[in-house]
């Protein structure tokens, strides 16, 4: 499409990144081919040198993968400008999973002896990677409450080895939100590489590149795919030279590539991304309001409610309160388990961002292994329920909640 820079968000979702197909297929097919051929040795050389555009080997990409990557670049940069006022150009690398995208980012930007500064309650896998795997490679991390900007600055002043700032906002499962603008500008002033896991918010709600961050990562498994059909991840960067150079090199050598089928499913999901998010978010607001007035509910964590401690920060950097919420039942652990077992429509499952409403009970599942005291400190109380609000008719979601509450 010619004027993609001025097209609307949903048009970008549908048409962005698509290039005409040689055999005139309407959609880009699943390229199930491990290797690509050359017309001549001369042409092979030109493609290898990057002088001619072309595909070489499946681990390095395919047309199906390129389409999903380009779409995500366009969505993360939607209506953003670079410092000279022209449309911001981003580069995305599709990975086999969100964790794989995070690994490529960390391993292409950190050396042994350098440290990460990050905050509480990251995604469990990221937390474990930083705690259990990276220290063995000489990469330590410092955990600070990112709500306290002065404290973050004190730590940065005192430790010259900190090279990378890692943020995730909103965070799981209490929807804590940190100030991207203030933290990114602080990080940059200390010369750090600044990166944001934007999985929960998605580019529909929040565009971290607006605040000059260096990288955005997603688990595309969630809202971007939107149908729960494939695990995937993406690393998006704005330093094109670095993205095309050392970051691409690291990605290719670690071997965490995506594949034609998963990329096809992702692209297919992305076509309806804007429309899906609209419905997810409006349904979530209705569910939050319902729970907020309920006599069995002690507390509702939803960024669209003024009662959420980070409501103001969230409204500044996000389009609305989002599609994720959690709530605490007065009856604690027992009530949580009972509520889930009584659900007749909503699905008892971890993960998020699918068309159907998913409910999970972190204390008995995702965070069951976290020591009780630490769990409470992170706000994961015994009766806390996490909801990824789906796109079903709102009356059906509310009716299911109502009968399970009785």
- Name the residue number minimizing CB distance to ligand PLP: 98
3-state secondary structure of 80: coil
> By CB under 6 A, is residue 97 in contact with ligand PLP?
yes
Rounded Cα distance, 30 and 364, in Å: 39
Nearest distance from C-beta of residue 325 to ligand PLP, angstroms: 15
Kindly determine how many residues on this chain lie close enough to bind ligand PLP according to the rule CB under 6 A: 15
Closest among 261, 352, 323, 353 to 68, alpha carbons compared: 261
Q: Does 123 bind ligand PLP (CB under 6 A)?
A: yes
Select 62 or 97, whichever has its Cβ closest to ligand PLP.
Answer: 97
Site string for ligand PLP, 45-84 (x = CB under 6 A): ----------------------------------------
Specify the residue, 106 or 335, whose C-beta has the smaller distance to ligand PLP.
106
Q: Is 251 an interacting residue with respect to ligand PLP (CB under 6 A)?
A: no
The binder of ligand PLP chosen from 139, 231, 324, 385 (CB under 6 A) = 231
Q: Is 219 in the site for ligand PLP (CB under 6 A)?
A: yes
Residue with Cβ nearer ligand PLP (88 or 231): 231
Lookup: tokens for 372:
């009780």
Mark the segment that binds ligand PLP (CB under 6 A) among 93-101, 173-181, 330-338, 366-374. 93-101
Tokens coding 303: 């960024």
**Single residue of 18, 115, 222, 238 touching ligand PLP by CB under 6 A:** 222
Task: Please state whether beta strands 193-197 and 215-219 pair in parallel, antiparallel, or not at all (unpaired).
Answer: parallel
Secondary structure of residue 77 in the 3-state scheme: coil
**Residue closer to ligand PLP, measured from CB, 156 or 284:** 284
Stretch that binds ligand PLP, among 55-63, 137-145, 174-182, 218-226 (CB under 6 A): 218-226
| Residue 168 lies near ligand PLP (rule: CB under 6 A) | yes
DSSP 8-class letter at 27? S
User: Which residues, in sequence order, are CB contacts of 104 under 8 Å at separation 6+?
Assistant: 93, 95, 235, 247, 250, 251, 254, 256
**Contact positions with ligand PLP (CB under 6 A) in 195-214:** 197, 199-200
Output 168 or 214, the one with its CB closest to ligand PLP: 168
Decide: 190 and 211 in contact? Cβ < 8 Å.
no
CB of 199 to ligand PLP, least distance (A): 4
Candidate ranges 175-183, 193-201, 294-302, 321-329; the one touching ligand PLP (CB under 6 A): 193-201
Q: Which of 16, 17, 98, 256 binds ligand PLP (CB under 6 A)?
A: 98
125 binds ligand PLP (CB under 6 A): yes
In sequence order, what are the beta bridge partners of 87?
81
Q: With CB under 6 A as the contact rule, which of the stretches 118-126, 136-144, 241-249, 394-402 interacts with ligand PLP? A: 118-126
Instruction: Name residues whose C-beta falls within 8 Å of residue 209's C-beta, 6 or more positions apart in sequence.
Output: 76, 77, 80, 88, 90, 216, 236, 238
Between residues 156 and 183, which has the closer beta carbon with respect to ligand PLP? 183
When asked if residue 233 is in the footprint of ligand PLP (CB under 6 A), the reply is yes
Closest to ligand PLP by CB, 77 vs 221, is 221
Is 262 a binder of ligand PLP (CB under 6 A)? no
Structure tokens at 83: 């410092």
Q: Does 99 bind ligand PLP (CB under 6 A)?
A: yes
Residues 346, 358 contacting (CB under 8 angstroms)? yes
SS3 73: helix
**Checking phi first, is residue 356 left (phi over 0); if not, alpha (psi -120 to 50) or beta?**
beta
Please report the DSSP string for 216-278 in residue order: EEEETTTTTT-SS----EEEEES-HHHIIIIIHHHHHHHT-B--HHHHHHHHHHHTTHHHHHH
Contact between 74 and 16 (Cβ < 8 Å): yes
CB 308 within 8 A of CB 324: no
Q: Looking up tokens 């964590």, which residue turns up?
A: 301
Chain residues binding ligand PLP by CB under 6 A are: 97-99, 123, 125-126, 168, 197, 199-200, 219, 221-222, 231, 233
């Amino acid at each position: 499409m010619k004027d993609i820079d001025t097209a609307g968000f949903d048009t970008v979702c549908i048409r962005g990144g698509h290039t005409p197909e040689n055999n005139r297929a309407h959609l880009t097919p699943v390229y199930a081919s491990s290797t690509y051929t050359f017309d001549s040795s001369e042409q092979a050389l030109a493609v290898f040198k990057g002088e001619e555009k072309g595909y070489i080997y499946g681990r390095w990409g395919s047309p199906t993968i390129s389409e999903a990557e380009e779409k995500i670049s366009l969505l993360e940069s939607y209506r953003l400008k670079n410092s000279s006022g022209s449309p911001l150009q981003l580069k995305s690398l599709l990975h086999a999973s969100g964790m794989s995208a995070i690994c490529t980012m960390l391993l292409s930007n950190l050396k042994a002896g350098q440290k990460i500064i990050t905050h509480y309650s990251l995604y469990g896998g990221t937390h474990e990677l930083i705690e259990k795997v990276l220290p063995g490679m000489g990469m330590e991390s410092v955990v600070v409450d990112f709500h306290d900007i002065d404290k973050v600055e004190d730590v940065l002043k005192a430790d010259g080895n900190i090279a990378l700032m890692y943020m995730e906002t909103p965070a799981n499962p209490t929807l804590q939100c940190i100030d991207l603008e203030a933290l990114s500008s602080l990080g940059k002033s200390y010369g750090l590489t600044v990166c944001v896991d934007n999985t929960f918010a998605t580019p529909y709600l929040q565009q971290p590149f607006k605040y000059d961050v260096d990288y955005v990562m997603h688990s595309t498994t969630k809202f971007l795919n939107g149908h729960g059909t494939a695990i995937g991840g993406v690393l998006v960067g704005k330093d094109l030279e670095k993205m095309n150079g050392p970051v691409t090199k690291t990605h290719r050598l670690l071997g965490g590539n995506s594949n034609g089928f998963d990329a096809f499913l992702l692209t297919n999901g992305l076509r309806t991304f804007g429309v899906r998010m609209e419905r997810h978010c409006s349904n979530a607001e209705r569910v939050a309001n319902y729970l907020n007035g309920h006599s069995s509910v002690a507390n509702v964590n939803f960024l669209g409610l003024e009662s959420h401690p980070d409501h103001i920060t969230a409204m500044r950097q996000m389009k609305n309160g989002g599609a994720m919420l959690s709530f605490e039942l007065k009856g604690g652990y027992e009530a949580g388990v009972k509520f889930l077992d009584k659900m007749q429509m909503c699905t008892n499952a971890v993960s998020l961002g699918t068309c159907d409403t998913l409910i999970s009970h972190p204390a008995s599942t995702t965070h069951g292994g976290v020591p009780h005291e630490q769990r409470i400190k992170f706000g994961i109380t015994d009766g806390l329920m996490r909801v990824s609000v789906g796109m079903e008719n709102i009356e059906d979601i509310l009716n299911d909640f109502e009968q399970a509450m009785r």
